[in-house]
Chain A
Amino acid sequence: MKKRLATALALLLAGAFMVAGFTPPCASAADKPEIRTSAQPCLHGMPLWYAEKANWLANAPFTNKFMLFASGAPQVEALAADQWDVGAMGALPTMMASMRYGYKFIGISNDESETNDLWVRPDSPLLKNKGVNPKLPDVYGSPDDWKGRKVLATTVSTGHYALTATLAALGLKDTDVSLVHMEQGQAVTAFNAGEGDVIQLWAPFSYIAEAKGWKKVSSGHKAGVVILGGIGVRKDFAEKFPDLVVDWLDVYMRGIEMMKTEPGKSVEPLLNYFTGYCGLELTRDQVEKEFKYRPLYDVNEQVRLLEDPAKTAAWMDGVARFMLTQGRITAKEYDRYVKSNYGIDPSFMKKLAERRAAAK
């Protein structure tokens, strides 16, 4: 009897060791510290991925570990668990991360006001009315058209902000529509199968919608808000390794500036990133649109935008105030966020600008 129990115990232990042995060994490259970069299947996720491919990192003082997330919310959760150091995500997740975990907003990946948009099927009644709010002539639908519609949206995302802004432009609130939370790819599939009345998307998913013949009824830009994509860094990491952050930013900005100055040359890598790495199915002309709709900023423009209280700070305040009026965050949280200057920290971008100026 005892023998059997002993055997069982031994088996258990053996199993435990097997499982432990299963754990993949951590890759430790020669001496260089590792920076964990988080990204999304989006234009602003590409720079570090491309840097690895194009061998830009050979002279950089760090190695990169690339991590892909479906959208901003899981990215923020991973941040809370200290699973990545630097990365790019939309305005709303950036705000949440700063508010909750002291995340630093150190740069603008792009202006994605136009690429966060809302779509309907071509037979939707929403298309009958346009410009009900005279200040925003490009928004489709009257308040009555919108009321009670089923909207597929990725909640607490930058796209959600565009949706909320659109509703607010018509004097409505989130609660006036039936908001169904889904991740982007799943929402496209469900919408395609006939679910929901409106779908909230962001590029590159919007291009899939366009290809399917769906109609754009609004976007962040059309609803009169500026939506930034934020580059940011985890608080502890920024405090411990400020120089590494600047080194990382250097590589990242090189990617952004390449896309800004030579969009033609950048189509191929971006297409590879989307189809080969992220598993999306896009065509070349869809990817070309990425560069048309998304204003990008180089280092010097960034410094100006980050330091100007009427620009970045005001835009982020818009995001926060929307969340406040929608009841998603409390007044106390809002006040604390404003006091922390919206988590904006231009020092890294400034250092990079100085470093580049000195190198010249």
Chain B
Amino acid sequence: MQTANVNRLTPYLFLAPAGIIMAVALLYPIGYMIYASFLDWNPSQRIGEAEFIGLRNYLNLLGDAAFRESFWVTLKFAAIVVTVEMLLGVGLALLLDRNIRGMSLLRTLFILPMMIAPVVVGLMWRYMYHPTVGIFNRTLKSLGLEPIPWLSDGNWAFASVIIADIWQWTPFIFILSLAALQSLPQSAMEASRIDGATGWQQIIHIKLPLMMPVLIVTLLLRLIDAFKVLEVILVLTNGGPGLSTEILSLRISRTASEFRELGEAAAMSNVLLILLMILTFAMFAYSKAVEIRTARLRAAAEETAI
């Protein structure tokens, strides 16, 4: 009887360590953060000593021009980088989806920017944007042009941060769309070729619609990650000049460490989390919907076959 007991307990034994760690170090902190967002709390206090102030942190955020600014900067940043990266990544994938030598090398080299520490990416770009010895201003100078204040002017700094992000993350979209392209059914491609479709027609009427499910998931994944960007911007500009590149994550970490307002930082974290939660559920709902649709189509196809 004892072995039966052991067998019944096995799944729990296997699952328990991971479950306990995630509960203690992931779920508990998130719950704690939600609670802390209702407190007036600074880092020298234990949480029990902090005063409960209800929704005041959230109301403060609404009235805080700097927070609204950084919320707006975050949205702008995410929208621009994701749009540009999608266009470039999908475009390159469509262009390079051929059986050519060097493709696997290209893919390997393309992953490098994503694997390297974001801190190091920031470091490299900060050097390249250097006002005098950076490669961009050096090139401009040797062409006899005016140097550009890459990181010291608000608008240029925003553009610089976007360029660095595009360099780092376009490969992600490229690799996912290339994988999607290569898993498309060959029969559809051949059928359209026989019907005399040109390259463009093939792309617009066949490839893109068939890739759409993957593209939408890719877009949402990238969008979620775009809201999480922090280190590259921290190293490049530290949010400045002014608030021009201060995205939400950076604002949270500064509110916590420089302004020592843990409650308000927690409230900001909550806003960011809710935003991302909406995106995540959109993504999950979408992939479920696609799954159900394909299942129904397959069932219908099987019925007609019989």
- A and B held together in a complex: no
Chain B positions near chain A (C-beta within 8 angstroms): none
